[in-house]
Amino acid sequence: MARDPFPTRSLSDREFHEGVVTVSHSVRAEYRWDAGEAIGRYLDGLRAGRIMGRECRECGRVLVPPRMFCEQCFRPTDRWVEVPGTGTVNTYSVCYVTWDLRRLTVPELPAVIDLRSGGIMHKLGDVEPGDVHIGMSVEAVWKPAEDRQGSILDIAYWKPV
Amino acid sequence: MGRRVAVVGAGMTRFVRRSLETGKELAWEAARCALDAAELTVDDIDAVCIGTAPDAFDGVHMKGEYLADGAGGWNKPVIRSYVGGGTGVFCAVQGWYHVASGMFDRVLVVAEEKMSSTMPHPQGAFLTIFDHITERPLEPNLLWIFALEMNRYMTTYGIEKADIARVAVKNKRNAAGHPAAQLGQADITVEDVLASEVLAWPVQRLDVSPVSDGAVAVVMAAEDVANRTCDKPVWVEGVGWNLDTAYWTNRDLAYPAYVERAARMAYEMAGITEPRREIDIVEPYDPFDYKELHHLEGLQLFGKGKAPEAARDGVLDRDGDLPSCPSGGLLGVGNPIAAAGLMKVAELFWQLRGEAGARQVPGTPHRGLAQAWGDLMQVGTVIVLGR
């Protein structure tokens, strides 16, 4: 008998859930990550309500997220610079699902925020999805100082100026 | 550059949502199909190149080693490569330099992915691509980065969603002619895509390729071997690959510069100076419909922001001036990550030999390009094949 030119035995949902043998397993592993030199200082800054970048004098960029090296010039960066907590929306989305595709009742507004130099991923708030546009000026809304933990979440979200 | 290298055989499994076969069994089936097509046995193979995505999909560490027995690797030099979604084309590039270097005469390249094992959804394994300290606390969803990039692309160039949806329609229609396809649909319309569930605006359900299981394999051979043993060898004319920064929020999201750099590397090697005139068919990476257009621009086949116009005018259709994803692509054939990229290389092999059946593009294509993309939207991998 001629062999199937494109083999593969496709399983139906029912077969998968009821009819064939499967074995389940969860990987048990926890991680504790060092923030490192550059991001450690960045997180310290966030706790203090400041966004800190690293300047590379060779290319003139202020790197946010900061790094102790410039990947383009491949040399050490030179100094810490505070970047204003205002920026513009580089791009955004209105997301209606969780990562495993369950519907959200309130959509999320992830965005890339361009800062004076550099840019980060974060979320927008205090705004209707239909009112957001690329190029919109936004400012960081900080958590109260006593609630900040040295985390990107110390910025609660970004809202229109 | 090195020895001339040809593809002398290709084979694949069907792409399905969930296969009975294990990854190793899928690799074996694809490898056997490719060897049969090349009229070779595993004893003729000098080395094996395996492409497969993160171990986290399978919960199996050392996945290359796990797959090797099924991929014909027993007692042979074996290497596994991984550059995210770019893997499927990269493993063919790796096969090329194994042979071009003079070290091996015949190499078996096998790409496998079984995504259905990850519960509840393989997206869970993808989430670890985000920076673990500055991004993951925001609990990002993988769709975010595509939605963010798509919105930036559309807004920068004033692109209509309907013109992007045409790509999904074209590919799912093309896939209706592919016997191994998961999502071929001959009667799908732009309206269907625009009416599908909004996941992360502007991304809707039918803008996205499916989760798939499957495997693909090709055999590559040195010039003298290929000429001696193969009627219609398909030659590797150029290869290129390039990686941009992982600081993706510091990049221009409207244009894939890393794809341009990879393409220019391949074009220089192939002696191509006017890609739009010199390439007959193209298989750009299409995990999302806008990505196909984004990549066609990065490949210098259309100006920045101009690929949607080509989609609207039918240029990219199977009978158009530059057929794009005649296979049906990831959107139509399916997206078992690494296997999907190598499927594009296999499609060029079949198209250039006139063996693509219902999918065969009219005329006699002489030269084709396959491209894949991945990691944190930062890698481009390109291969140019010709007959």
Q: What is the pLDDT of residue B295?
A: 98
Contact, B50 vs B236, CB < 8 A? no
Q: Is residue A20, in this structure, part of any structural domain at all? A: no
Using the structure block, give the residue that is written with the tokens 């925001």: B138
Using the 8-state DSSP alphabet, how is residue A15 labeled?
A: I
The pairs formed by A147-153 with CB atoms below 8 angstroms and a separation of 24 or more are A148/A46, A148/A47, A148/A49, A149/A47, A150/A43, A150/A44, A150/A46, A150/A47, A151/A43, A151/A46, A151/A47, A151/B137, A152/A43, A152/A46, A152/A120, A152/A122, A152/B133, A152/B134, A152/B135, A152/B137, A152/B138, A153/B137, A153/B138
Q: Is residue B195, in this structure, part of any structural domain at all? A: no
Q: Residue A60: which pLDDT band, with cuts at 50, 70 and 90? A: very high
Q: What's the structural domain count of chain B?
A: 1
Q: What's the structural domain count of chain A?
A: 1
Q: What is the pLDDT of residue B122?
A: 83
Q: Residue A19: which pLDDT band, with cuts at 50, 70 and 90? A: low
Q: What is the pLDDT of residue A13?
A: 80
Chain B residues with beta carbon closer than 8 angstroms to that of A108 = 141
Helix (H, G, I), strand (E, B) or coil at A116: coil
Instruction: Quote the CA–CA distance of B307 and B105 in Å, as a whole number.
Output: 39
Question: Residue B214 CB: number of other CB atoms within 10 A?
Answer: 34
Instruction: Quote the CA–CA distance of B309 and B289 in Å, as a whole number.
Output: 14
Nearest chain B Cα to A36, which residue? B133
- Read off the pLDDT of each residue in A5-22 and give the average, rounded to a whole number: 81
Pairing state between β B5-12 and B234-243: antiparallel
**Closest Cβ opposite residue A11 in set B18, B29, B152:** B18
* Pick among A33, A121, A128 to test the B interface (most B CBs inside 10 A): A121
Q: Is residue B201, in this structure, part of any structural domain at all? A: no
Contact B247 A65 (CB under 8 A): yes
Q: Which domain holds residue B264?
A: 5-118+210-386
Mean pLDDT estimate for chain A: 93
CATH number at residue B364: 3.40.47.10
Q: What is the pLDDT of residue B46?
A: 98
Question: pTM score > 0.80 for this model?
Answer: yes
Chain A residues with beta carbon closer than 8 angstroms to that of B200 = 93-97, 110
Q: Residue A2: which pLDDT band, with cuts at 50, 70 and 90? A: low
ipTM: 0.93
Per-residue pLDDT of chain B (387 residues; tens, 9 = 90+): 789 999 999 999 999 999 999 999 999 999 999 999 999 999 999 999 999 988 888 888 899 999 999 999 999 999 999 999 999 999 999 999 999 999 999 999 999 999 998 888 888 888 888 999 999 999 999 999 999 999 999 999 999 999 999 999 999 999 999 999 999 999 999 999 999 999 999 999 999 999 999 999 999 999 999 999 999 999 999 999 999 999 999 999 999 999 999 999 999 999 999 999 999 999 999 999 999 999 999 999 999 999 999 999 999 999 999 999 999 999 999 999 999 999 999 999 999 999 999 999 999 899 999 999 998 889 999 999 999
**B59-B332-B315 Cα angle (round to 5):** 135
Q: Does A94 touch chain B (CB under 8 A)?
A: yes
Using the structure block, give the residue that is written with the tokens 């991998």: B381
Chain A residues with beta carbon closer than 8 angstroms to that of B35 = none
> How confident is the model over A101-116, as pLDDT tens digits?
899 999 999 999 999 8
Which tokens hold the place of B159?
């692109």
Q: Is residue B298, in this structure, part of any structural domain at all? A: yes
Q: State the DSSP H helix or E strand holding residue B385, giving kind and residue range, or none if neither.
A: strand B379-386
Contact A65 B131 (CB under 8 A): yes
Q: Is residue A7, in this structure, part of any structural domain at all? A: no
Is the predicted pLDDT of residue A3 greater than 80, yes or no? no
Q: Is residue B137, in this structure, part of any structural domain at all? A: no
Is the predicted pLDDT of residue A25 greater than 90, yes or no? no
Is the predicted pLDDT of residue A21 greater than 80, yes or no? no
Pairing state between β A110-114 and A119-123: antiparallel
Q: Is residue B145, in this structure, part of any structural domain at all? A: no
**Closest Cβ opposite residue B134 in set A15, A25, A39:** A39
Q: Is residue A60, in this structure, part of any structural domain at all? A: yes
Q: Which domain holds residue A156?
A: 36-160
> How confident is the model over B239-283, as pLDDT tens digits?
999 999 999 999 999 999 999 999 999 999 999 999 999 999 999
Nearest chain B Cα to A12, which residue? B18
Q: Residue A151: which pLDDT band, with cuts at 50, 70 and 90? A: very high
- Read off the pLDDT of each residue in A56-66 and give the average, rounded to a whole number: 97
Q: What is the pLDDT of residue B139?
A: 92
Q: Is residue A26, in this structure, part of any structural domain at all? A: no
Q: Does A153 touch chain B (CB under 8 A)?
A: yes
Q: Is residue A137, in this structure, part of any structural domain at all? A: yes
Using the structure block, give the residue that is written with the tokens 């009667």: B187
Q: State the DSSP H helix or E strand holding residue B89, giving kind and residue range, or none if neither.
A: helix B87-100
Helix (H, G, I), strand (E, B) or coil at A103: strand
